[in-house]
């Protein structure tokens, strides 16, 4: 597979950062296998990408289900394989304290963020090793390196994914697999906060209230694309990105009168 025939699997491609990253790579001329749970959103993505130079293959996939991942692998393998995996599927659910946390929420976050990435990686590692210049990019979060009140479950999941990524980089260097981690801070997307707050749009809006320029899905997609488009010998191990207004996890500047 030459540089002009780069091919990637992008999970979480139905919305937010995953969707934006799939579109960005297709714009760059890649073949992209867009994996996500919602077929309708995948078909909408296909319509949006019709005039772009790359090639899009839609694969309805649930990263928490082994049979679904087996089917995904079969589709990718039959279509020529990939050299790059971008694990972007994930999310947060709930903002309760640990004392009041819902175990089912934690279970979902760990299944989706940590074990979902693990399942994809284990399934596709032999393909990436055989390619000779494979890349795995895991989208984690600044929540994976700094804990905060009300974030215990998401912290636990993203800390776990962060640790998985670090161990993978050490283990797979001998197979010439590049392992990249992108850790965004505050990103405003159409679904992340809404889902976390169980559809309470007022609470979701409060997450971003007064922050005039949070990161966007396109911002993160640009960084992910840049990292995997670099010559293979260059590894951006960990890329922490935040809006300027978020100087640290605990310091967010909210401007008065800004919605």
Point out the residues that are catalytic.
154
CA angle 54, 60, 61 (to 5 degrees): 110
H/E stretch holding 19: helix 16-27
3-class secondary-structure state, position 73: helix
Question: Smallest Cα–Cα separation from 153: which of 97, 102, 106, 115?
Answer: 106
| CA gap 37, 34 in Å, rounded | 10
Token look-up 């990436």 returns 128
Question: Smallest Cα–Cα separation from 56: which of 68, 64, 47?
Answer: 47
Report residue 138: phi and psi, to 5°. Answer: -105, 125
Question: Smallest Cα–Cα separation from 93: which of 185, 18, 204?
Answer: 204
């Amino acid at each position: 597979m030459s540089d002009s025939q780069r091919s990637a699997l992008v999970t979480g491609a139905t919305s937010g950062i995953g969707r934006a990253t799939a579109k960005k790579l297709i714009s760059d001329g890649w073949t992209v296998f867009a994996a996500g749970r919602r077929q309708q959103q995948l078909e909408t993505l296909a319509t949006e990408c019709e005039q772009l130079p790359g090639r899009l293959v839609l694969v309805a996939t649930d990263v928490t289900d082994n049979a679904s991942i087996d089917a995904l692998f079969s589709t990718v393998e039959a279509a020529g394989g990939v050299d790059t995996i971008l694990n972007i599927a994930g999310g947060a659910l709930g903002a309760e304290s640990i004392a009041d946390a819902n175990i089912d929420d934690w279970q979902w976050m760990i299944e989706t963020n940590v074990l979902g990435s693990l399942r994809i990686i284990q399934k596709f590692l032999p393909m990436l090793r055989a390619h000779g210049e494979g890349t795995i990019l895991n989208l984690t979060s600044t929540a994976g390196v700094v804990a905060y009140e009300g974030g215990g479950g998401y912290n636990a999941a993203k800390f776990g994914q962060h640790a998985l990524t670090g161990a993978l980089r050490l283990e797979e260097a001998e197979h010439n697999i590049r392992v990249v981690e992108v850790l965004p801070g505050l990103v405003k997307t159409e679904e992340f906060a809404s889902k976390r707050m169980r559809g309470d749009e007022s609470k979701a809006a409060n997450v971003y209230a007064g922050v005039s320029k949070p990161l966007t899905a396109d911002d993160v997609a640009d960084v992910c694309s840049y990292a995997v488009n670099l010559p293979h010998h260059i590894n951006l191990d960990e890329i922490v990105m935040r809006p300027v207004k978020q100087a640290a996890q605990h310091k967010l500047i909210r401007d008065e009168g800004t919605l």
